[in-house]
C-alpha cells in the first residue's frame, strides 16, 4: 500500500485498525470507491493473514475530522491503559 499512515492500533494477532490516506488501487481493491473516491482519510482494518486483508470501515469527512478521530482514539486507549 502507498499510504500516509497516521495511526495503527493492534487489535489482535495479525490484525490492526488504521487511519490514513489510501492508494487508489487499495481503495478500488477494497471496494470502497463508493465512499467518494480515493482522496481523503480512511479508517480500515488490516488482516495480515489474508491476501486481500484491507477492509475499509469508514472515511473521515476532512483532515480535521481525521485528526479529531486520532485524538479520541488516543484518549480512549490511554484511559483503557490506566484502568
pTM (2 d.p.): 0.76
Q: What is the pLDDT of residues 4-55, one digit of tens each?
A: 667 888 888 899 988 899 988 888 888 888 888 888 899 999 999 888 789 9
The answer for residues whose C-beta is within 8 angstroms of residue 48's C-beta and 6 or more apart is 14, 15, 16
Domain residues for the domain of 44 are 5-82
What is the mean predicted confidence (pLDDT) over 63-83? 82
Q: Which three cell numbers stand for residue 17?
A: 485498525
pLDDT of residue 5: 66
Beta 54-60 vs 5-12: how paired, if at all? unpaired
Is 83's pLDDT higher than 80? no
Residue whose cell numbers read 480535521 = 64
What mean pLDDT comes out for the span 57-75? 86
Q: Given this model, what pLDDT does residue 1 score?
A: 45
Domain count, the chain: 1
Alpha helices by DSSP H, 1-83:
24-29, 63-82
Amino acid at each position: 500500500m502507498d499510504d500516509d499512515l497516521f495511526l495503527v492500533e493492534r487489535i489482535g494477532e495479525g490484525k490492526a485498525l488504521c487511519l490514513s490516506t489510501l492508494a487508489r488501487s487499495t481503495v478500488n481493491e477494497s471496494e470502497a470507491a463508493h465512499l467518494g473516491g480515493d482522496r481523503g482519510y480512511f479508517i480500515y482494518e488490516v488482516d495480515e493473514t489474508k491476501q486481500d486483508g484491507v477492509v475499509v470501515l469508514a472515511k473521515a469527512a476532512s483532515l480535521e475530522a481525521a485528526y479529531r478521530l486520532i485524538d479520541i482514539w488516543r484518549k480512549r486507549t490511554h484511559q483503557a491503559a490506566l484502568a
